[in-house]
Amino acid sequence: MHSRPNSSRDTKEAKGLSFRNQLRSSRRAASGYAKAALSARNKRNKGLGHSEPGALSPDAETIDSQVQSLSADQLLDRYHELVDQRLDGRIHFRESFELDRIEARLNAENQYELGRLKILQDDWQRERDALVTSIESLLTRFRAAR
């Protein structure tokens, strides 16, 4: 059999295969990470007793009711405490769940306040328009009287 020396084409093909294998292995590693994250999430949900999607376990319901019973000041204090724990990397799943519930409550309260502001802004705009119309009619009558 006849062997030929390595040409630059063979070298480029070998490098191309190596690069493709690196890409393929990095994709596999990424998909493995996604699977592991999903598995970890499922384990955490089981830890809170999730039996079906959307159902809260008694522990989760307790946390949710505790969050709902906090005053506005207590809510903000607890929020900042949990965010600090998360930034320090020492937050556990239960605290993470509590932080999620606090954020949901704060967002709901913000949406309510934004709705109220929109209503006030619309009322102000109507009053302003009525006032401008009134002033314009007064100016028209004043000019006509001169």
CA distance 88 to 71: 26
Residue 76, in any domain of the structure: yes
Q: Is residue 69 part of a domain?
A: yes
For the chain, the helix, strand and coil percentages under 3-state DSSP, each to the nearest 5:
85, 0, 15
Is there a domain that residue 4 lies in?
A: no
**Is residue 43 located within the same domain as residue 98?**
no
Same domain, 95 and 34: no
- The residue among 71, 57, 139 whose CA lies nearest residue 105 is 71
Residue 116 has pLDDT above 70, yes or no: yes
Task: Kindly state whether residues 24 and 84 are assigned to the same domain.
Answer: no
**42 is in which domain, residue-wise?**
10-47
Taking only the tens place, the pLDDT of each residue in 41-82 is: 555 555 555 455 566 788 888 998 899 999 989 999 999 999
Rg (CA), the chain: 32
Residue 133 has which token pair?
């119309």
For residues 39 and 61, membership in a common domain is answered with no
40 and 105 together in one domain: no
pTM score, whole prediction: 0.48
37 lies in the same domain as 83 = no
Rounded Cα distance, 58 and 68, in Å: 15
Mean pLDDT in residue range 22-30: 45
How many domains, the chain?
2
pLDDT at 5: 52
Are 63 and 98 a contacting pair, CB within 8 Å? yes
